[in-house]
């Protein structure tokens, strides 16, 4: 990879032409041009309670390097130029400026900035890919899926999209260190007719536990999901979340007499990439689980299985089950064999029944857990004669 060459031009500079950077034959010129007056800048800083910023991340920079330009005063607000590898992925994140206050171009061509999200309700943020991660051009039979994810500080997060057959069609891992802000916009073209997809997101920390770093810094993570130009879902509070979208999606359970149980798990020990999806996964250990319908005289298993983990398996797991509406159910999960040969990091899991969360917790080493859900009473769970 070539090193990034950077030049900045102050907005208040004289109108004399500025010579553009000369990039080598493997690079292309990125230009960020701002269109904002000093009064507009001052008003903007007051309204968002923070200072606007620009981040350009390319593959020559380590993920932990804080390569951010923050505009603390108007004289420092500059147009930006950089030579970036033409055939590699580079991401340009602009925070604080509305999208009509700046323009992007790459390799001499205007770049569509795309959708902005309002971070912490009042801070506009965009992330634009150029080079190999520019948004693809979809066929007439396809629609563009765009997943946007924002976070600041330390967290381990995965999001993925599955088709109706359970195949993973989009996957992204995010491991953040302290004091790093991150905005990932990932795009893929998917068939749009007679299709149903499931978006999953999960990590090792409840997102609404985040507190701002500094009085005015917006640190709350959030994500947005767009399909065929329409917003499917947006959230800034989750440990796990799932969203179905597409024109052929049907209810997962019979809505008249069944309830939906969702089991989520995130195992921070695992790494996964779509590039390795065709390779045979290696099972290192498994979590066993069982869902039963319980009454005072019996317990009947309605669904059970294992969650295998190891190279080639996604760390984010989602299982769905249907049970009779109004029943009392019991979910049991066991930890792996304690003899496995590496450090054990407690996985995080969650149990949801008809959109009500009954459990979200870590699973400590050598501690199996049971969770009762639904219309459970002491009489239905215990035998009054012996317990």
Write the pLDDT tens digit of every residue in 270-291.
Answer: 655 555 555 666 788 888 999 9
The pLDDT tens digits for 47-101 are 988 899 998 876 554 444 467 889 999 999 989 999 999 998 888 889 899 999 9
What's residue 272's pLDDT?
54
What's residue 305's pLDDT?
93
Query: Of 148, 149, 168, which is closest to residue 157 (Cα–Cα)?
Result: 149
Contact 85, 131 (CB under 8 A): yes
Query: Of 347, 130, 110, which is closest to residue 240 (Cα–Cα)?
Result: 347
Residue 44 pLDDT exceeds 90: yes
The pLDDT tens digits for 145-178 are 988 877 665 567 788 899 988 888 888 776 555 5
What's residue 57's pLDDT?
79
| Pairwise CA distance, residues 277 & 270, whole Å | 14
Residue 328 pLDDT exceeds 90: yes
Between strands 68-70 and 102-106, the pairing is unpaired
Q: Model's pTM, two decimal places?
A: 0.75
């Amino acid at each position: 990879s070539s090193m990034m060459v950077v030049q900045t031009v102050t907005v208040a500079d004289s109108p004399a032409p500025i010579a553009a950077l000369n990039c080598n034959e493997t690079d292309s010129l990125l230009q960020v041009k701002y269109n904002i007056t000093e009064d507009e800048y001052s008003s903007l800083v007051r309204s968002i309670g923070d200072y606007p910023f620009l981040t350009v991340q390319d593959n020559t920079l380590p993920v932990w390097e804080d390569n951010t330009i923050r505009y603390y005063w108007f004289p420092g607000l500059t147009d930006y130029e950089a030579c970036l590898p033409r055939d590699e992925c580079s991401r340009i994140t602009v925070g604080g400026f509305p999208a009509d206050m700046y323009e992007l171009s790459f390799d001499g061509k205007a770049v569509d900035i795309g959708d902005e999200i309002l971070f912490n309700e009042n801070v506009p943020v965009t992330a634009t890919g150029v080079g190999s991660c520019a948004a693809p051009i979809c066929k007439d039979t396809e629609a563009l899926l765009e997943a946007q994810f924002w976070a600041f500080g330390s967290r381990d997060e995965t999001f993925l999209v599955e088709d109706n057959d359970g195949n993973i069609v989009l996957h992204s891992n995010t491991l953040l260190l302290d004091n790093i802000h991150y905005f990932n916009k990932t795009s893929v073209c998917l068939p749009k007719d007679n299709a149903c997809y499931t978006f999953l997101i999960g990590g090792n920390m409840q997102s609404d536990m985040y507190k701002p770093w500094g009085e005015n810094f917006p640190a709350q993570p959030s994500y947005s999901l767009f399909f065929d130009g329409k917003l499917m879902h947006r959230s800034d509070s989750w440990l796990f979340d799932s969203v179905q979208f597409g024109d052929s999606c049907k209810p997962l359970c019979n809505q008249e007499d069944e309830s939906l149980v969702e089991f989520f798990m995130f195992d921070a020990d695992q790494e996964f990439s779509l590039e390795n999806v065709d390779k045979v996964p290696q099972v290192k250990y498994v979590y066993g689980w069982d869902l039963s319908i319980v009454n005072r005289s019996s317990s009947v298993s309605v669904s059970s299985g294992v969650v295998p983990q190891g190279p080639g398996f996604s760390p984010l797991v989602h299982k769905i089950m249907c049970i009779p509406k109004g029943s009392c159910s019991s979910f049991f999960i066991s930890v792996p064999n304690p003899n496995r040969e590496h450090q054990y990091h407690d996985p995080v899991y969650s149990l949801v029944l008809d959109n009500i969360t009954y459990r979200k917790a870590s699973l400590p080493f050598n501690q199996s857990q049971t969770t009762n859900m639904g219309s459970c009473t002491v009489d239905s769970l215990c035998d009054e004669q012996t317990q």
